[in-house]
Amino acid sequence: MANSVSDGSGTDAEVKVHALGSAPDAVGDYVNLECLASELPPLGTDLRYVSANISLVTATEECVVVYVFGLARFSYGELTADSIA
């Protein structure tokens, strides 16, 4: 999600959605979703703040979110595959 207001009170713009073939359901499963800053301008002006909107199925599930900001040494997209056993 992207927003023009830092506290999220503005209008959200959906940047990207991950379509899962099957849900991660075991220890060691992981899902990746890459989003580039260049994907924000076509969605609207002043979209400066991004966040992840994650839905878990049960209250006992755990997840980790990592944001990486910076220039890549080698810039290529979609290089990280999901791993769902």
Do 29 and 83 touch, CB atoms closer than 8 A? yes
Quote the pLDDT of residue 7. Answer: 92
Strands (E), 11-76: 49-50
- Report how far residue 75's alpha carbon sits from residue 85's, in angstroms, rounded to the nearest whole number: 29
pTM reported for the whole predicted model: 0.66
Residues 6 or more apart in contact with residue 50 via CB below 8 angstroms: 1, 2, 3, 15, 35, 40, 67
d(CA 31, CA 76): 18
pLDDT (tens digit, 9 = 90+) per residue, 15-42? Answer: 888 877 777 888 888 888 888 778 878 8
Which pLDDT band holds residue 5 (cuts at 50, 70, 90)? very high
Read off the pLDDT band of 45 (50, 70, 90): confident
At 53-84, the pLDDT tens digits run 888 888 888 888 888 777 767 766 666 777 88
